[in-house]
Every structure is written in C-alpha cells, then in structure tokens.
Structure 1
C-alpha cells in the first residue's frame, strides 16, 4: 500500500525457499518460497497492516499523514532476507537517477522484522549502512544488542540474555542441577544457549549433553539428537529452539517415545499453540511474552471476503490450505472447488486465534514506535493543535535518531528503548497443563520481572503441573544431595554435579546440605553422632557424684575412722604394757599422720581448682613424710632399745623422746621446704586436658613442675626404703612381741604399692590417673595401720591376758 511515508515489513510466512538450478546462461528467476504457510507469521503480517490502518485513521498520531507499507516474505532464510533488505533500501522509484542527489521518494522510513534472529542479523548488516532503523518483534539474540555491529537495530521483545538468565534461575528455583540442552543450530539457538549455559554455570547447574540441529539438516541428525535424549539420565531438557526445529524433533520423539522428560522452553516455542498437540511435552514450563488484547484485531483478521483473498497470493494459498479447496481454479480429481460457503469464523487455526496475543502485540508496538518517530519528525504542536506536513523531507537517519527517544503508552503498554535498543524485560511463566478433556492448554502461572532485586524476580501465583501430570516437582540431579554430616567428593572425569557423599572425619562436621567441606569443631566442642552439630565436650573428673568417687571417698573416710578408733583404743589403754612398750608418743603421732593421709585423698576428688591442686600434692607429700618419719622413729627406737640391753651400752640417752621428736620434725621439715620451693616456682594448677580423649575434656591438675612432684615422691620413697632396711635389720631381734617385724611387713607393702604406682600413674588415661594416685595413698595407708596396729589392737581387745609385762618379758615363749 502506498503512502506519504512507507514502512517495510519482513515476516517468515514460509520456512523454505525453492531450490533453483543455475545454468549461468540466463538471468536467474526471483527467489520463491515453498512449504505451507505459517499461519502465525501470516497473522503477524496482517497485524502490521491492521496497525498501519489504525494509525492512518487516528486524529492524534500523524493526523493527515498516510503511512504505506511494503511487506515481504523472507522464507525464513538468510539469502531471501538479504535480498529483501536490498529491495527495501533501494527505494521504490522506477527511474534510476545519475545526478548528484538521489531521489528519496518512497524509500522506507524503517523496517519491522524479521521474526528470527539469524535473518535479522543479516538484514541489519545491510540496512545499517544506510541508517535505516530496524525494529524486530521476535528476534531475541543477545548479540543484536551490540550497537557497534548493529547500530540501527531495535526490538520490542526482550533480549535472550534476559531470558537465558531467567531460565537459569528457573532451573535453579526448582532444584534441578542435572539437565540436557538442545538448541537450534542458528544464531538464535547458539547465542541463546551460550548465554544460558554461562548463567547456568554461575548457578551451579551441570549439563549432561548439549545438542544442536536445524530444520534443513538430514533426518539422521535429528534422529541422533532424539537418541541422545532417550539414553540420557537428565530428566529436565532446556530447549532453546525455534518452533519449526522443535516440531521436527518432537515428531521424531513421538515415533519412539523417550522416558518422561520435563521440558523447559524458550519463548520462541513454548507459547506456540501449534506444538500443544505433542503430549510428550505435557507439563512444559517456559517464559512467554505477556498476553495482550488488541481491540478490533480479530474482526480485521476475520474480514476476508473472497475478493480480498483472491487479490493476495499468500491469502489465497492460506485459504486453500485451510479449507482444502481450490479458489477460482480448476481443481484436481481429489480436490474440490471453493464454493464460497467456507466460513473463516469456524476455522480453528493460529491465524484466527487471538486469545493469547503475545508476539502479535510486539508487532503492534513496533509499528507504533516507528509511527511516533515519524510523527516527531514531521509534526509540531502549535497552540495545542498537532499540525503535520506530509511534504516534509524525512531521511531514515532522522527517524533512527528519534526512535531512540520514543517513550509512549499505547493500549496500556509502555514502549521505550534503552541504549542497546532493548525494552524492559518482563515475562509470563507459562505451564502446559492437561485439561479435563485430555488436551493440553497453555496456562499462565506466574511472572518474571528482571528489574526486581535478586531472588525476588519470580512471582508464582498458581500451581504447576509437571511431566507426569502430578503436582510434585520432578527430580533431576546427577547425584542425590549430601545430607549434613557429609561432604561432597567429585567423581573423577565427571561434572561438578556428579559426586559421592563422604562422612565427615572424626572431630569435623558439616551443617548444610551439599557441603563441599567439613570443618573442625572448636577445641572445647565435639560432633554429635550425625556429625552435623558441635556440642560442648563433657568435662570428666572424679566427682563425689559418681560411683568411683563415692567408693574412694568411702574408703578414705573409713580409713580415717579406723585410725581415730585405733587411737581411741590406744588412749584408753595407754597405761597397758603393750602400748607403753611400743612408744606411745610416736604411735599417737603415727595414727594422727595416718588420719591425715586418709583424709588427704579426699582433696583428689571433686572439681580441680587452684587451691585444691596445690593442697592435694603438698598435703599428700607432707603427711606421708610425717607418717614415714614416725615409722622410722619407731624402728630406730626398737634398734636402740635392744642395743641398750647390752652391757655398758649408753645408746638410749642419745635417742630419747626429744631426739625422736626432733627426727620426725627434721624429716618433715625437709619435705615442707621442698613443697614450698615447688609452690613458689611452678605450682600445680587446674587444666583442661584435650589430648588424651578427643571426644571429652579431662579436668585435672597439672603438676606445674614435674621435677617438684618427683622430688616430693622420691623423698618419700627414700625415707620408706631407709625405714624398710632398718626394719629388716631389726626383725630377728629376740622379743616376744617384736614391732620391727610388723614394720617390715608394712614397709614392704608400702614400697610395693608405690613402685607399682609409678608405671600405673604414667600409663593411666584421664581421671584414672587420679584414681591410681588415690588408690596408692589408701593402699599404703591401710597397709601401715593394719600391719603396725592391728596386732596390738587384737591383743588389747581380744587377748588381754597377753597384755602383761610378764608376758612381754618372757622371751622364750613363742
């Protein structure tokens, strides 16, 4: 249609071009398209005509100006699209001017189209040299946003970069990490899939396979892609394809179905109603351009009287295919002639389906954007009245400049372009759901808005159904998630989504799902059995609340009571011969020291503190030296006593009671000095032992200075050995009751206990080290009191007839 300013249009009404054989002797004929008419693309082209007529009838936009159009079929091929681009760039003048100024009459101001990315790229490279703006309604390749290569390209549909990011986030949103990928072997598919794979990698998504194919490829290539899908383990397939390519793949898969697959679709095919007939895609999810309503469009599309159809070869072809008849021609034997009863109102075809206008609205907006740019170039607002001059000479470069600035709202839809010629990216989330009748319907279940913050782009407001028709999200992972308490270990030679789950090593935990590493608990903590939480380690020491502590405390108190009872018996019979004969003063002092020895073991039980740690070792060392000193004094007294019976001996005056007291005090004082030095330089202190047991804390007293401890212990041992030697020397002295024999037995027991104590103390773990030390104290203390005092108490209490001076002095009586 002619007009004051002409707008070009390029649509892929057919999908193949006729193969021509060139003999290079005659001029080649013009390219011809073959294949059946794409009803959807035909609707796009008719929508452009409708929009231009609506603008021409408008009193606000370009009043008094008539827009014309020139619409071409690109056959969805690059050669035809380039040929069309040159035709639209050359102008419409039938005369070729050789002067300096070429005529601009009839040259298109801008071009709407093409529908696919690859032809659009080729067209843009041609018309970009002439500064002719191109506004595509369906070319989504992210590469077209490059203004260095495509300076005149605009589009009303969002770039695939936004869609690729949205698809990656969609896959991540439903927890799929193991997917398959198929794409058209074109600029649209290859660039779109590249953007998606890059975004998917950032989201931690792995791709099992990535296959490409094109509709002109041999059938064997499509069959190979179908076989890859059938053999794959990935349940989810992301298809970045044009609808024509996917239709061929789905037809192949229908012949020999694969296991159920969850299809995730790009906008190019997921909103194409032609594909709803493939049941294997039930549950498909993808992004579509938002639905719209264009008043009057349906009536325009259905307004096809026979005269209008006959005047257009494309409409004629569409009519004949739709109603399977011949229009105004002699029909073949198996064909009928269109008799005029055909009713397009009853036709179920994408051409007549205006229930979900998506891409059609992109065509509508593209034409309006061009019209607004021309309006800004030729119209002026004078006294609130728009005046347009249709004789204004406008160049396409001027329209290009003004097109960058357009910002308007038409029919409730905002139209504007950013610096890359792209609109704001918003999508509907579309789900293919089976209806009660068994057919598949396209249902909008949510929205995606790229302008919203991360994590809030999705708004899902309806339930989705999946490949099996159920409400549960299918699982598509290479390996099941590793639960807390384990870590991921990658499988050799496989993607990062394929891994084994290894339990965390001892002392380490992981508290998140799919944790790549385990981390150790703090020193004072230890993992639970599941190794997903750190708990404080139990603190272990001998306490008065446990059985071991109660038993040891009971023996300690019992020993102290025994020593006190013995002292009471001795005190009550202090005038008896057996008490007087055995140095009652040293005996009472020995019983007192034994009482302290028994009681000092109580300092080893309970929570270690600074005072208890210092007290337990020093009290133990001093009381035992006091005890051994008393035994040593009694042994020396025995030896001296028998020496004193020899004629002319005056030994006892050198070892009387004052000397005995001095001996005990001197030996004890040395131990006190050793303990003071030990406490002054490096005293014992409480500590948490974390090395013996990894899973619990041993609360114990550190020795501070190990030398101090062993010097204290060594001094006790030295006195004990000395006492033992003297007792052995005195054991055969003639006497009815020789105390030296009992001292010998007690020292033998004492030395045996403490000799075995050393290896047991060194090798015992944890709190049992303290238990060994308490046992040694109690055992040696009981050995002393039983060996030295038990026989005396036996005679005092049970054999009083032997507790006489005569009996004691009778040396011949056994």
Structure 2
C-alpha cells in the first residue's frame, strides 16, 4: 500500500512527549506568537517572519501534566498493565499554530500524516487544552470529526450555530455561579457604580449580555464599559497601546473605584504595558479595586520583570478551587534543563525566567549569564512562576486523573479491551476515543488532595470557586490570600462566604474599604430621586416629606410610620405617640373645670337667692317656676361640662352630648317660654283681648315640655342608630394619639346643635320684637342680649370646632357651653340680683307700679 507523506515544513519549536501505551495530548500556551503581516507584493520568505513573547508562568501547566501522568503510572490501583504517555505542543495563542498542533496530535509521532496509524502505541485518547477560549474552540473544531474527548482547563469557548455538540468537558465550574459571586461582592460592599473591562471578542460580549441585566436588577450601574483590544501582528502593537492608554485615562478619570475584569489569562500582562506607560501621563494611578474572573491570573511577559505591578495591589479575583497536591513541590524543584529529557519547553522558560544563556546557544559575545541549572525556582517573582499550584494547573491535574479513571472504568467493563499477554508484557488494544465519552460523563473520584471530582450533565466540573486577594509588595513579589468561597452545594446562607477582615485593600485606600458610588449614599431621613437622563445609580437626596421617614440608606421612597408612632425631628425613625386627652391634671382641663364649678356655684347662689326672696315682686314677675327651672338647667349646663373632661369611657361618651343637648334645650325653652309669656301678658291687658285665657303656667310648661321632648327624641334616635363611643384618633395630631369620644353620627350631632340654635334664634327674635315693653315687668330686653350672646357663641363655635384638632376640640365645646350659659345667666339674672341685693327699695309692688306709670 502506498502511503502519502505530508512533510512538515516547519517542525514545532516546542514540544514535550513521552511515548507509552496510550497518549494524552496537551495544548499549552507558554509563548505568544506575533507575526509580521505580509502585503503579498513578493513571495513570502521561509520561515515566515515572526516573534515569540514568553509567559514563563504558564510553564507550570506543562509540569503539572507531566507530574500527573507520572503519578498515574506509579499507581498500581489505577490502570494496571497500562501506561500513559503524553504529547504537549504550544498553541502560541495563534490559530494557525493551534490547528497545526492539533493535527500533529492526531498523527503518528514520527510523521505528519493525519488519519493514519501504524502501531498500537502512541494512540491519542484525549486532548487537554487550551488556556483561552479561542484556542479551545479551534482544538474542539479539529477534534470534532474524530470524536476525541477534549478537557478544557481555561476559558470556555462561545458556542454558536456553527459549533453544535463539540465533545469537550469543562474543568472549571459553570460561569453563571461566578457571575453571581461577583454580584454578591458588589452588594456586600455596597459598590453600585462600577467600570467593566472585557475582551473585545465573543466571550466578552456574552459576559456583558449576561451580567448587564443581572446587575441592573440588583441596583448596580455601569460607569463605563471598555473593550480590551486584541492583536496578532507586530504592527498592531502601536495601535493596541494607544487604545490601551485611552482605556487607562477612562479608568483613572472615572469616579468608579471598582473595575470588573472579564478577560483571558494573559490580559494583566497587557495592563502591565498600560501601567508602565502611565508614568508618562498626567493622570497618575490611584487605588482601584480590580475584580477579576477565574480566567485572569497575575502574569507577565518575560521582558516585564521589573515593571511596576502595584496597580493590581488589593485586587480580588475568583479562581478555580485548588488544593496543594502532595509531592508537586518536590517534582517542580527537581526540574533542571540539563537532566530533563524530551522537554522542549524548559530551555526557553529557563532563559526568560533567569535571564541566562545556554552554552550551546552562545555564538559570539555573551550578554547574559550562563545557565548553570543550579538556579532556584523559588527565587522567581510570582508573576513569572508560582510554586503553589494555580487554579488552571489544578484543573489539568484533575483532567489527567479524570481520563485515567474513565479509562480504568472502560477497561474494567469491557472484556474486548482487556490486555493480551505477549512475551510477558501486556499489550493493549487501542480503544477508540468516542467510547470514552460515556465513562467520562459518569466519572467521580476523590483526588489526592481529598477533593471530589465529577462532571454534571452538561460536562461541567461540579465545584465552586475560591475568592482570592492579591497583595503586591514593593519588590514586585506578591502574595495570594484566600478570603472567601463560592460553594454551590453549601446551605443557602453559605453559598457565598467572605472574610472581610482578611482583605488587604489598595494602597491609596489606607486599609479602609473603598467606596464606589455615583453619589454619596442618601442618609436616613432622605430618599433618592433619580436624575433625569442619567443612570439610576446617580440621584439626588431629597428630605422626606412631613409625616414620613426613611430609616435606611438609599431608600427609593419614604414611608409613613404606623398609626401609633410619628417621625422624629430628623425623619429617620418613628417615636411612639403620646396618649392624650383633656384631663383634670393639665392646666387647660383644670382651668375649665374650675370655671365650670365657679359658675355652678354662682348659679346655685342665684337660685338660693331667688328661693329666699321667692315672694318678692321681682321674683314673682315673669313666672317664678320658669325662673327656677331656668336656673336649675343653667346649673346643670355648667356641671355637664365636667363630663367632657377626663379619660373618655363608654358612659361619659353616651351622656356628654345628649345631656348637654337636652339640658341646653330645656334652658333655651324656658327662655322662649318666658319671652312668650311676657308678650302674651301685655297683649292680655288690652281691653277686649282674647289672649287672657292663654296667660298662665300651663302655656309656659307646655312650651318647655314640648320643646325639650323634641330634643329628647332627636337624642334617642341618635343613641339608637349610631351612638357615641370611646375612640382613639391617631391621625389628627402628628405626635399624639387623642383618646376621645367618637360622635358616631356627625349628622345627628349637628341636628342636636342646630335644633338648640333654632330655639335660641326664635327666642332672640321674639325678645327683640318685644324689647320696648315697659321695663318694670319686661325681661325681653335682657333676654334679647342673652340670646344675642348665645347665638354669637354657637355660630362661632362651628368654624372654630372644625378647625381645631385633638383635645382642643373638646375644650372649644366646653368653652362654648360655659360662655353661652354664663351669657344667659349674666344677662337675665344680674339685673334682678342687683335689685334684690343692692336696691331692695325697688323690690315692692308700689315702686314697680309707679315706674310703670
């Protein structure tokens, strides 16, 4: 059979392989390839012009893959009779190199012939990689035809209609959990005004589409969104740096002190350029809190060894959960470029990390030290190499073991893949990669660090994230401190945990938690009002209106206190209202009760005086019994005001208005009867008058009784349909709960009052018309004045009563009762008392008759 040979014109510069029964491929990203763009005006030179920029820190990814394969091969309980090998190529973060490396993996180890296998060894069973999303997608696209499993330890590629069902597994948890963790941090520290930096690619756009509505719903606004430029050609560097400086100015000018960064692992090396060039800018760096996603690592290109990285001091990042693996430190420390076989990456790493040259590479003049192999990895700064296993390295370690456990399960479950003895050595029939998917989906084991490793139905690692804090020292070394955890399997209140005391903030913050707000937060007592045309995080703080408070920061609106409380002076809390009523203990209640008792005593003295002189002409005139009834009703009017003072109870509420209305109606009825009696008496004295038969006590008593019974009927109806009852008025007064008598039916109350005023108005009218009758026997003039006072008091009562609140409404009514009663008492009875006490000579029939003549 004739075999077509495909010669590789440019063999890979970096590779690391160990040939065994089964091979696991690896796509690393230790170097960054920059090409010179061709204009195709002439035939391109061979090899193409290009340059490599090394990321020394990523060499750990290669070491951990070799270490994990070594551990599996030394484990007699896992894959006995089978040895694992590996082949690792560099993607150079370049599409052409990535596809080239992938095709090399699916070819034989000696020749570049895809789809051709000539032996049972070096059979590719899976591929681990890559570090960034574009590399992973390129590898997945190439492997899709062969259905070879791919275990991704870096960023997840964006899936679209052109890439359905690619067979890869994610060694990082679901990114949605990470987004929720970022939101938790922002809300925990009250950072609502943030800047966002994303890669200018599909992953960056997907991130924005996901977090923008999520953050906005929870009150977080975006001060700016900047896209980090990408470049592939040397000539693009200038434009990239110019764009980077614009981003730098935007970040530093912004009031936002928090930056959320969604980018690839090498992105901070790009920001290292920006930080380096910032020394030439007028805007100097100031403390910002960087919040990075799990893809972001503290890394730098080899030429950035002495560049200032303090701009990242105090950063907070999410990271794939990792633990220390026993034996890894010793394995790393044993690495030496002079005793490591097959590792095509170590020389470039050693050269860039330690700035030395290998003897076989020195041609002429030596500009650097000679690499001795005795250099110590622990002397390297953290941005170049970490002895601690990073999150990405930990994912590679788990990926190797996931493949090993899946292979072990496949061999154990299917006899046709068991070993066949040949010359006392076990040979393995090559299993097709597509059969491994079933076992990978169900893999579940505890690694050597004790962590449980398994995939969910979507091929994502079932795990959480660690929250890390970066501490950058003056000598450019740094320390990473674990300050929190995102654990999707924890209790609801412990899914996100953060230890704020363990955080080291940026240097300009002086160990004080920085603020990141569009405007200072609204204090209690104020509420937010969004500024027109600006994001909702930018607002003005407006004092709460009357009778409303805000007792928390940044409330969108103030709210009312409960009915039992009222706002304090600063409108930031509610104070219990005072329970109040018109009591005998306060000056107003005491004064009114004293006045009531005083006039009651005066009325009683007048009544006693009239009883003593009941046979005198001035008392007998104008119906002696009506006079006594009037005095008694006035006495009761004064005393009934005491029902309005004191704590209202059911009995007093039922009695106060009804008693006042009936007693006052009796008093006004007496005045009306006296007036009508005077008029009829003078009309009866005329010759031939027929009014004589109406003059007498019977008419007066009938007037008093009938007028009073009408009022009694009104009060009875009132008590029947809607009687007064004790109540608490919680709304009329801001700071008081007024215990009062609810009138029940306001209409009935004004009916009682209106009927009483109607009687007074009739009395006033009749008295006014009869005021010119002879004074000796005529009280009409005095009744006119008394009813004028009475009507004036009660006409002014209505508007005053309605404009008054609380216990002062009761005081107004008491005052009106006292004033009108005192007016009647004074106007009608003071002239009579004057004659009885001071001018007894006028209190005889002859004098009265003489005065009449």
Change in Cα spacing, 1:622 to 1:335, as seen in structure 2 (3 Å) is: closer
The alignment status of 1:514 with 2:514, answered yes or no, reads no
Aligned partners of 2:108 and 2:791: how far apart in 1?
117
Q: Which position in structure 2 is the counterpart of 1:758?
A: 795
The alignment status of 1:587 with 2:627, answered yes or no, reads yes
CA contact (8 A) 1:743 1:787 kept: no
**Residue 176 of structure 1 is aligned with which of 191, 202, 210?**
191
Q: Can you list the C-alpha shifts for 1:147-183, whole angstroms capped at 9, x where unaligned?
A: 9734321232334333232222222222211111112
Change in Cα spacing, 1:776 to 1:227, as seen in structure 2 (3 Å) is: closer
Aligned partners of 2:386 and 2:502: how far apart in 1?
25
**Residue 777 of structure 1 is aligned with which of 817, 823, 832?**
817
Aligned partners of 2:47 and 2:438: how far apart in 1?
34
**Deviation of residue 12 (structure 1)?**
0.9
Aligned partners of 1:777 and 1:785: how far apart in 2?
12
What secondary structure does 1:212 align onto?
Answer: strand
**Residue 220 of structure 2 is aligned with which of 185, 195, 205?**
205
The alignment status of 1:72 with 2:89, answered yes or no, reads yes
Q: Which position in structure 2 is the counterpart of 1:117?
A: 133
Aligned partners of 1:552 and 1:318: how far apart in 2?
101
CA contact (8 A) 1:329 1:337 kept: no
The alignment status of 1:3 with 2:30, answered yes or no, reads no
What secondary structure does 1:267 align onto?
Answer: coil
**Deviation of residue 52 (structure 1)?**
2.4
CA contact (8 A) 2:151 2:168 kept: yes
CA contact (8 A) 1:675 1:708 kept: no
CA contact (8 A) 1:141 1:191 kept: no
Q: Which position in structure 1 is the counterpart of 2:101?
A: 84
Aligned partners of 1:92 and 1:444: how far apart in 2?
43
Q: Which position in structure 2 is the counterpart of 1:489?
A: 529
CA contact (8 A) 1:622 1:671 kept: yes
The alignment status of 1:464 with 2:503, answered yes or no, reads yes
**Deviation of residue 29 (structure 1)?**
5.3
The alignment status of 1:61 with 2:78, answered yes or no, reads yes
Q: Which position in structure 1 is the counterpart of 2:350?
A: 319
What secondary structure does 2:782 align onto?
Answer: helix
The alignment status of 1:366 with 2:399, answered yes or no, reads yes
**Deviation of residue 546 (structure 1)?**
4.0
Equivalent residues in 2 for 1:244-255 (5 A)? 244-255=266-277
Question: RMSD of the alignment, in Å?
Answer: 4.1
Aligned partners of 1:306 and 1:280: how far apart in 2?
34
Change in Cα spacing, 1:17 to 1:369, as seen in structure 2 (3 Å) is: farther
Aligned partners of 1:625 and 1:54: how far apart in 2?
111
Aligned partners of 2:257 and 2:566: how far apart in 1?
41
CA contact (8 A) 2:99 2:138 kept: yes
**Residue 14 of structure 1 is aligned with which of 8, 31, 36?**
31
What secondary structure does 2:266 align onto?
Answer: helix
CA contact (8 A) 1:433 1:442 kept: yes
The alignment status of 1:335 with 2:362, answered yes or no, reads no
Q: Which runs of 5+ in 2 are unaligned?
A: 1-17, 279-283
Aligned partners of 1:633 and 1:22: how far apart in 2?
126
What secondary structure does 2:78 align onto?
Answer: coil
Per mean C-alpha deviation after superposition, the further-off stretch among 561-570 and 287-296 is: 287-296
**Residue 263 of structure 1 is aligned with which of 278, 287, 290?**
290
Change in Cα spacing, 1:790 to 1:760, as seen in structure 2 (3 Å) is: closer
Equivalent residues in 2 for 1:612-691 (5 A)? 612=652, 615-635=655-675, 655-673=695-713, 675-676=715-716
Q: Which position in structure 1 is the counterpart of 2:519?
A: 479
Change in Cα spacing, 1:739 to 1:617, as seen in structure 2 (3 Å) is: farther
TM-score (norm. length: structure 1):
0.86
Aligned partners of 1:268 and 1:98: how far apart in 2?
34
**Deviation of residue 482 (structure 1)?**
2.9
Change in Cα spacing, 1:130 to 1:725, as seen in structure 2 (3 Å) is: same
Q: Can you list the C-alpha shifts for 1:385-436, whole angstroms capped at 9, x where unaligned?
A: 9999533131111223322222222312433222222212223221123569
Aligned partners of 2:476 and 2:58: how far apart in 1?
28
Aligned partners of 1:193 and 1:640: how far apart in 2?
101
**Deviation of residue 724 (structure 1)?**
0.5
Aligned partners of 2:404 and 2:50: how far apart in 1?
30
Aligned partners of 1:393 and 1:24: how far apart in 2?
49
What secondary structure does 1:211 align onto?
Answer: strand
CA contact (8 A) 1:45 1:71 kept: yes
Q: Can you list the C-alpha shifts for 1:287-308, whole angstroms capped at 9, x where unaligned?
A: 2234433344444444455654
Equivalent residues in 2 for 1:377-388 (5 A)? 377-378=410-411
**Residue 471 of structure 2 is aligned with which of 433, 441, 465?**
433
Change in Cα spacing, 1:109 to 1:684, as seen in structure 2 (3 Å) is: closer
| Number of aligned residues | 803
CA contact (8 A) 2:82 2:428 kept: no
CA contact (8 A) 1:674 1:708 kept: yes
Q: Which position in structure 2 is the counterpart of 1:572?
A: 612
CA contact (8 A) 2:23 2:122 kept: yes
Aligned partners of 1:339 and 1:692: how far apart in 2?
91
Equivalent residues in 2 for 1:106-505 (5 A)? 106-137=122-153, 139-141=154-156, 143=158, 149-187=164-202, 189-192=204-207, 194-216=209-231, 218=239, 219-256=241-278, 257-272=284-299, 278-304=309-335, 307-308=338-339, 314-321=345-352, 322-335=354-367, 338=370, 340=372, 342-344=374-376, 347-348=379-380, 353-378=386-411, 389-412=426-449, 413-433=451-471, 440-461=478-499, 463-468=502-507, 470-505=510-545
Aligned partners of 2:821 and 2:761: how far apart in 1?
17
Per mean C-alpha deviation after superposition, the further-off stretch among 648-657 and 662-671 is: 648-657
**Deviation of residue 354 (structure 1)?**
1.6
CA contact (8 A) 2:136 2:156 kept: no
CA contact (8 A) 1:675 1:712 kept: no
What secondary structure does 1:268 align onto?
Answer: coil
**Deviation of residue 597 (structure 1)?**
2.9
CA contact (8 A) 1:739 1:788 kept: no
**Deviation of residue 662 (structure 1)?**
4.5
**Deviation of residue 616 (structure 1)?**
4.1
**Residue 38 of structure 1 is aligned with which of 55, 71, 96?**
55
